[in-house]
Structure 1
Amino acid sequence: MIQLDPWALFEIGIPAASGGVAGVVGVTVYRRLRHGDARTGLARPYVVLAVVVSLLGIGYAGLHAATPLWNLPLGSGILLLAVPWTTFAARYIGIGRYVTLGRVFAGILAVTVLVGVNVFGRLIQEGWITTSLVGNEALQTLETAQSVVTLALLTLVFGLIGGVVVATYRHDRLSTVQGLLVVLPIAGFIFTVQTTRPATPLLNDVLIGSTFLVVAAGLTLGVTRYDVVTRVPATRRLGERAALTETDEAIVVLDDRARVVRVNEPAERMFGGAQTLADVTDHSVTSLTEHDTITCRTTAGRRQFEPSVSPLVDGYEETFGYTVMLIDVTDREIRRQRLAVLNRILRHNVRNELDVIRAHAEEVDLAPAVDGVDRLSALSEQARRIQDLMERSAADRTEVRLRPHLEAVVADATAGVSADVTVTAPDVSVTIDPERCRYVIDHLVENAVEHNDGESPRVVVRAERTEADVRLVVADDGPGIPESERAVIEAGGETPLEHASSLGLWGTNWAVQSMGGSLSFDESDLGGTAVTVSLTDVAVLDA
């Protein structure tokens, strides 16, 4: 007979109401899953988890009211929660690859058997059935097997509880409270089962009711406040694993004696079964940091690599190993050497031969040949200047007064030329590479004047300071830069049919990129072209 006194309503009402709340959470997450607003691998086990908690709350209330088996759902509850919770927790911390469909089904089967044994044992305790049905020896064997499997399951659960809390704590953008809410459903029931005793029925009712209430609240907060089905620390673990396993570069993990303890797939492919760093290269770990490129022995012969070494340091600042990334730069080094040789030939050999040709052409008064030689000499000089600019270090920056610097560059670029050039700039100092900046403005102004057929070409050079960058704009009233040449620069490459007519625009683009900026083209208010140089990584100081 159900006693409808206030305490009975508390014993039955709180678990039942908590079960209802958990059910609502499960339905809410399921709807989010259907609308693509939750991660499938997290939402599915979370829905099952909420449904199991809901059934436990309602089932506990019903059994408490109608049978003497009122505490049966608690022991079985941990077992029923184990599969969905461990599945969720594993995916939450980024080890979901171990959760296969076969293992999930095996877990469900094991839990079903354990719950069956648990129910069977309780029915025997209550005298509803006798041990003669299976025999004492068989019953003892079942209980022993149940204890072993339950212990293994609890070990897994406790390991994942620690993993969830630690992973959430180490994540820079997640609250530790989120991790506690994730472990609350399983940890709450484990705590309650271990603290309830037959001799303290009143305390038991308080603990059990409170557990259902707290677990239901935790499930709700996990979805509404912390969104555990989308924001998880697995991103960090999976990102670290991807950096090791999915990169195309060779990564070798060494211990403090330079012995190989782990390699990724590219490293395995390149270096075979290398056991120590000495099997890969003649350099030590220390000397790797002193070289830009090193030679390594690979399965394809000797190749050039760019090394990057990251020490593995513990909490006592003691180094216990190293992570070495080796970037294959063989092709890049060959190309660099080839360009260096071609540049030398262009700068010296070809120029010397052109001087000889020019001298002979002048002797016989071959003006077209002389003009051609002069153009080739100018091209060689331009290539040399661009090469010198590209070899400058990114650290070659200095503080310059912007307006005087632009005025000086413009004056040099227009010396001896009839042109109307205006310079406007704020009175500020900027930290830039003055030589690269000079080349850019010089070429743009010179190009604007040279290709303008007017008697007095108009050019405006202005500097603009914004919150995000410093912009240098060169605008003219000429015919503008041909669309074909602009398209080549914007595309970032040439073809036999689409290419620039000179090196100047390419050199300007390279100089701007080396300063961390970008080059863009637009129509000028003067009727020609406006070229904008946007420099984002520039310190600006008021003069």
Structure 2
Amino acid sequence: MIQLDPLALFRVGIPAVSGGVAGVVGVTAYRRLRQSDARTGLVRPFVVLAGVVSLLGVGYAGVHAATPLKNLPLGSAVLLLAVPWMMFAARYIGLGRYITPGRVLAVTLAVAILVGVNFFGRLIQEGWITTSLVGTEALQTLETAQSVATLVLLTLVFALIGGVVVATYRHDRLSTVQSLLVVIPIAGFIFTVQTTRPATPLLNDVLIGSTFLVVAASLALGIFHYDVVTRVPATRRLGERAALTETDEAIFVLDDQARVVRVNEPAKRMFGGAQTLADVTDHSVTSLTELNTITCRTTAGHRQFEPSVSSLVDEYGETFGYTVMLIDVTNREIRRQRLAVLNRILRHNVRNELDVIRAHAEEAGLAPAIDGADRLSALSAEARRVQDLMERSAADRTEVRLRPFLEDVVADATAGVNADVTVTAPDVKINVDPERYRYAIDHLIENAVEHNDEESPRVVVRVERTGADVRLVVADDGPGIPESERAVIEGGGETPFEHASSLGLWGTNWAVQSMGGSLSFDESDLGGTAVEVVLRDVAVSDV
């Protein structure tokens, strides 16, 4: 019969209510899993953990309500909670790859045996079983084995507790409180087991009831407020691991003597069992920091790499090692060399041959051949101009006064052409590469005028300033840029069936992108096309 006194609240009421709360938390987590609103690897052990806490709370209350026992051991509670909690904690901090079915089964069987031994020992203490049935020596051996196994299990638990606290603390976007909520379900019972004593039943009842209350509250806060089954520090650990083990680039970790300490799989595959940096390249760590590309002998032959070196420095500023990443740029370098050769041919050989063809065409009076040679010569000149622009440094910036700059570009682009061009721009100074900016605007205006059949094409050049962004729009009343050409530029590539009709639009796009901007197309209020050039984070100052 239940005793209606204040202690009944701690013996029966609080454990029962706490068990009910834990059950609700477990059901809620399971529903989130069914709705694909949480991580499977985290929810499953969390649901088991909440279920065990629920059974412990209800079971503890039920035993106290139905029996006159004054003290019930909670050592088995820690053991029962250990397996699901360790599974959850390991996945929480990014060690889920160590949780295999075989290991879980082995630990579960070990825990089941420890719980059985605990229960057997409790029966002996209560006088239900006499020691004569097993023998004193056998009982001592069993207790020793139990103590060792429990110590090993608790060592793993405490290691994971430390891992949870440290991983959460190191994560920039997670509260340290979240780590406390994760460790309380196991740490709370460990603390209570170590502080309860058979001779102090009043204190035991208060501690145990409070433990159930705190554990249930931590589970509820963890699932309802801090979302411990979704927002976890494992992302950081797994991201760091992926950077080393799952990248396609070769990575070496070296000590201060340039000896290989660790390599990732691509490095092992490309360089075999390299023991020192000398087995990989003839260059030293210092010289690697000064080189753009190096040639290394790999299992696939000689390849070209771009080296990246980072020093490993301790808190005293002393270097104790390096990480060396070798980025395979063989194909990139081949393309670069190929483009350089083609550019030389375009600049010199083709131009010289076109001059010869044009001269013979003039002598023969072949007008179509002359026109064709002129178009090819203009295309060659345009290609050389684009190449020169792309070879400019990203630091080639200067401050220009926007409105006079635009008026000057418009005047050059419309020289000798009957066109109505309006310029609207704030009187400010902007920091840009004037050559690339001029090329882009000049081509857009020329394109708007040349492809317009009106006697006096209308073009509006409008610039707006939004914070550190400068938005330029060139709108016309012409037929507009064909959708096929716009799609090619916006898609970023050409095919045999979809391609731009000239190099200028590509050059404009490259010039804008090289300045950190973007190019887009829309319909113009004038009836044609509106091309928008947005330069972001540009230094803008008033005149």
In the superposition, the TM-score normalised over structure 2's length comes to 0.96
| C-alpha distance 37-367 of structure 1, shift in aligned 2 (>3 A) | closer
Q: Say which is worse superposed, 463-472 or 393-402, in terms of deviation.
A: 463-472
CA contact (8 A) 1:250 1:327 kept: yes
Q: Say which is worse superposed, 54-63 or 374-383, in terms of deviation.
A: 54-63
For 2:377 and 2:27, the matched residues in 1 are separated by: 78
- Which runs of structure 2 are paired with 1:75-94 in the superposition (5 Å)? 75-94=75-94
For 1:416 and 1:109, the matched residues in 2 are separated by: 92
SS of aligned partner of 1:417: coil
**2:513 maps to 1:499:** no
For 2:76 and 2:305, the matched residues in 1 are separated by: 59
SS of aligned partner of 2:213: helix
CA contact (8 A) 1:269 1:299 kept: yes
The residue that corresponds to 2:249 in the other structure is 249
Letter in 2 for 1:137: E
For 1:110 and 1:160, the matched residues in 2 are separated by: 18
Letter in 2 for 1:433: D
Letter in 2 for 1:186: I
The residue that corresponds to 1:159 in the other structure is 159
For 1:308 and 1:246, the matched residues in 2 are separated by: 17
- Please report the RMSD computed on the Cα atoms of aligned residues, expressed in angstroms: 1.8
For 1:15 and 1:518, the matched residues in 2 are separated by: 63
Letter in 2 for 1:403: R
- Which runs of structure 2 are paired with 1:89-238 in the superposition (5 Å)? 89-238=89-238
The C-alpha deviation readout for 1:479-514, integer Å capped at 9, x for no partner, is 222222222222222222322222111111111111
The C-alpha deviation readout for 1:414-441, integer Å capped at 9, x for no partner, is 1122211111112222222111110001
The residue that corresponds to 1:375 in the other structure is 375
Letter in 2 for 1:97: R
The C-alpha deviation readout for 1:455-487, integer Å capped at 9, x for no partner, is 222111111223583221111122222222222
How far is the alpha carbon of 1:104 from its aligned partner?
A: 1.5
| C-alpha distance 200-70 of structure 1, shift in aligned 2 (>3 A) | closer
The residue that corresponds to 1:259 in the other structure is 259
For 1:128 and 1:155, the matched residues in 2 are separated by: 32
CA contact (8 A) 1:56 1:73 kept: no
CA contact (8 A) 2:90 2:96 kept: yes
SS of aligned partner of 1:226: coil
SS of aligned partner of 1:311: strand
How far is the alpha carbon of 1:176 from its aligned partner?
A: 0.6
CA contact (8 A) 2:83 2:108 kept: yes
For 1:270 and 1:69, the matched residues in 2 are separated by: 69
How far is the alpha carbon of 1:71 from its aligned partner?
A: 4.0
SS of aligned partner of 1:541: strand
The residue that corresponds to 1:525 in the other structure is 525
How far is the alpha carbon of 1:242 from its aligned partner?
A: 1.5
How far is the alpha carbon of 1:364 from its aligned partner?
A: 4.2
| C-alpha distance 358-237 of structure 1, shift in aligned 2 (>3 A) | same
CA contact (8 A) 2:188 2:211 kept: yes
The residue that corresponds to 1:239 in the other structure is 239
CA contact (8 A) 1:60 1:73 kept: no
How far is the alpha carbon of 1:3 from its aligned partner?
A: 2.9
CA contact (8 A) 2:270 2:299 kept: yes
SS of aligned partner of 1:84: helix
SS of aligned partner of 1:307: strand
Letter in 2 for 1:158: F
For 2:364 and 2:337, the matched residues in 1 are separated by: 40
SS of aligned partner of 1:290: coil
CA contact (8 A) 1:59 1:73 kept: no
For 1:68 and 1:152, the matched residues in 2 are separated by: 34
CA contact (8 A) 2:468 2:540 kept: no
The C-alpha deviation readout for 1:353-376, integer Å capped at 9, x for no partner, is 323333343344443333322222
Letter in 2 for 1:19: G
CA contact (8 A) 2:10 2:208 kept: no
Q: Say which is worse superposed, 15-24 or 188-197, in terms of deviation.
A: 15-24
The residue that corresponds to 2:270 in the other structure is 270
SS of aligned partner of 1:306: strand
Letter in 2 for 1:134: V
For 1:6 and 1:224, the matched residues in 2 are separated by: 31
In the superposition, the TM-score normalised over structure 1's length comes to 0.96
The residue that corresponds to 2:395 in the other structure is 395
The residue that corresponds to 2:542 in the other structure is 542
The residue that corresponds to 1:19 in the other structure is 19
| C-alpha distance 357-2 of structure 1, shift in aligned 2 (>3 A) | closer
The residue that corresponds to 2:279 in the other structure is 279
How far is the alpha carbon of 1:118 from its aligned partner?
A: 0.3
Q: Say which is worse superposed, 271-280 or 467-476, in terms of deviation.
A: 467-476
SS of aligned partner of 1:90: helix
How far is the alpha carbon of 1:387 from its aligned partner?
A: 0.2
How far is the alpha carbon of 1:2 from its aligned partner?
A: 4.1
- Which runs of structure 2 are paired with 1:475-490 in the superposition (5 Å)? 475-490=475-490
For 2:118 and 2:195, the matched residues in 1 are separated by: 19
Letter in 2 for 1:217: A
| C-alpha distance 282-391 of structure 1, shift in aligned 2 (>3 A) | same
How far is the alpha carbon of 1:158 from its aligned partner?
A: 0.5
Aligned residues: 543
The residue that corresponds to 1:356 in the other structure is 356
Letter in 2 for 1:336: R
Letter in 2 for 1:256: D
How far is the alpha carbon of 1:205 from its aligned partner?
A: 2.2
